[in-house]
Amino acid sequence: METETIFIGNKALLDCLACRQCKKLKKCIINDEVNEFIEKAKKADAFVFGSLVYFAHPSARLLTFMDRAFYAYRESFMYKPAAAVLSTRRAGTTTSFDVINKYFTVASMLVISSTYWNHVYGGQPDEVLEDKEGLMTMYNIGKNMVWILKCIELGKSNHVEHPNNKKVSTNFIK
């Protein structure tokens, strides 16, 4: 199984401008790594989005990245499995887990779970290695991801199509 890690933590990212040009152009007008990621996302089978936890929420850079990617290219994520994984010194993982998973559910993705919430504890990378439960949780996410990918392949080979859900938006402002 081939994987690729995309690290977005060392470059400035602009927030979504809400210009909606992406819907017309089929790409974001801000030409940066979000567009590069989307080209890869179109071909990807599954996703794992990870973040450190800052003040009880995921990295603002990750949220900016996901805002733009999921708004502009929801179709690139639909019906694909995804997992959120988090690392924290002490607290804030469950709220961060919730925030990231909301991107998955709004895009009709399959949310991959484990035997506990998908996080590890440690203020430094070597401290995470002491969190045996967290490491087992990460291991189990990997096993669950592989299993669901195999199930999807079996479904495709047996001509089982995804549900092709329709979307309706309601604006409550009149």
CB-hemisphere CA count at 13 Å for 108?
12
Tens of pLDDT along 25-57?
878 899 888 999 999 999 999 999 999 998 889
Report, as an integer, the average pLDDT of 63-90: 93
- Domain encompassing residue 125: 21-157
75-85: b (≥16 Cβ within 10 Å) or e: ebbbebbbbbb
Q: Is residue 172 domain-resident?
A: no
Tens of pLDDT along 102-127?
999 999 999 999 999 899 999 888 99
Alpha-carbon gap, residue 169 to 157, rounded angstroms = 33
Q: How many domains does the chain divide into?
A: 1
Q: Is residue 61 domain-resident?
A: yes
Q: Is residue 56 domain-resident?
A: yes
Phi, psi of 93 (to 5 degrees): -70, -40
Q: Is residue 130 domain-resident?
A: yes
